[in-house]
Structure 1
Amino acid sequence: MKHAVILIWVFAIAVVPAVVGAYDLESAYRSRGGYDYHKAASSRDGVYDINAARAERGAFEGVKPGTAGVATNALSAVSESSLDWYRAAAARGSAEAQFCLGAIYEEGRLVPQDLSQAVAWYRQAAAQGNADAWIALAGLHDIGKGVPRNPAEADAAWRKAAELGNVAAQYMHAERCYQRKTPDLVQAAMWYRRAAESGSIPAQYRMGEMMFKGEAGPQNYAEALKWYGLAASTGFADAQYALGLMYDKGLGVARDAAKARDFYAKAAAQGHGTAKTALGEAGQE
């Protein structure tokens, strides 16, 4: 059940169009550093066309020249004119525009839904190293949308996106390594660590879990405490419960009933069932 909850949590971050609808580019775009609008406006290239498309959507609102930024949602405000700019940018070789066209065709925004076109544009963008396109292809192969269902192809696409530095993809690739019929704990630990070090909260929890269980080398409570602590500090309920357990049982730390109850209470307040039970038992001691 924990794995299912965390998978839902990370998909809310990755927002794969094949799974949940229109793709929100904001976080993914921020992770790539964005474009310099001031420079882009002075040269007619794919970046210029992308910026023109954004301008048609009012995407420059609150964005100053020379700074990076992006519209909140790549598809929700697509207009006929911005669609033309995306097509122009894609023709000039813009991987981002190719990805956006893939999402437009997948969702059927302003054009009839055409999954073959969506896949073709995603593949063009992916061939240029666009991590978002690899994520989209992974989602399509996972559910057999527009392409034959192929978990191996999905695995390969998630790994490509992970290798390109997409943190959500690094976490998802680690999850898939961990959940195989024969888990690959070495690969899982490596990718969880990469994602965790880049700030992925569920990956930080997973690193704590692997350290706690001795799945990433020898059992290491100190490392488990560190990773659980990072995730718990953001309000991640599973990590808060795990810290409560460590303080409750004195695992790697001096037993501290007050701290245990505090962490149990924080997790329980978010609806964590096991934490509620543990909190009730702790109150009876």
Structure 2
Amino acid sequence: MKVKQETEKMVNLLSKFISLVSYKLPDDVEKKLRELSEEENHPLARTIYKTMFENQKLAYELKRPSCQDTGVIQFFVKCGENFPFIGQLNTILKESVYKATRETPLRHNSVETFDEYNTGKNIGNGIPSIFLEVEENSDKVEIYTYMAGGGCTLPGVATVLMPSEGYEGVVKFVLDRMTSYGLNACPPLLVGVGIGTSVETAALNSKLALMRPIGSRNENENAAKLEKLLEDGINAIGLGPQGLKGSKSVMGVHIVNTARHPSTIGVAVNTGCWSHRRGKIIFDRHLNYEIPTHKGVAL
């Protein structure tokens, strides 16, 4: 009975957290949008930023999603091997999504492929997406929650480059996608670039890149340099807020890289829109929690 009560408690807290993510941007995103708006010189772009801030203010006051497309929920989880509810975690995450869908409410975005019907629950085959990493000698769980909307998903793409293409090939691949599909993702964008050995490793890395705090740099000196070069290059395109022209195109470019096969360079791009709805919650074994992405917020 106690386990059931505790898992219900975690479902309730997580559903409230998912709702929070839908209407309150993380601190780093809010800060970066303010910086970009202050640096902007184009009159229309400045007006658009003003509208964005008003939208966020109303969303928080009304406790309603800041964008009608609340996306497909994705969880990036680092769970300690000694966390007492590790065995129930998948069920807890799914139930919290359904509860948040009903109570926030969230738009129904889970459509079963080929059968072509909307489940009406934001739960379906493989939805929500759950990516789990188990951590040794830990009894806590860290959960990144991300709302992968249709617009910010559209530029997502992955491929495997021949090794002779080198990192110049990575740059070309990223810039080709940003100049052709970047408009669809509601700029200014957070661009996640993943590098690995194949399309699936690169794609996951590119999503993990979107979870990093804005302004952080890759620990590898060469990767950090490439982040800056890509950021400057994409900004030079001048997409501006909502793609209607401006001095900047991105909130940042993050690279997450893992080791690769010597014959391949797997590369992927994923983007976060200006309303980059992600948040991190950490539970200890007693379900005490902290939310480092949203300081001062209680559920």
Normalised by the length of structure 1, the TM-score is 0.22
Q: Tell which structure's C-alpha radius of gyration is larger.
A: 1
More relative contact order, 1 or 2 (CA 8 Å, 6+ apart)? 2
Structure whose residues are more often strand by fraction:
2
Normalised by the length of structure 2, the TM-score is 0.21
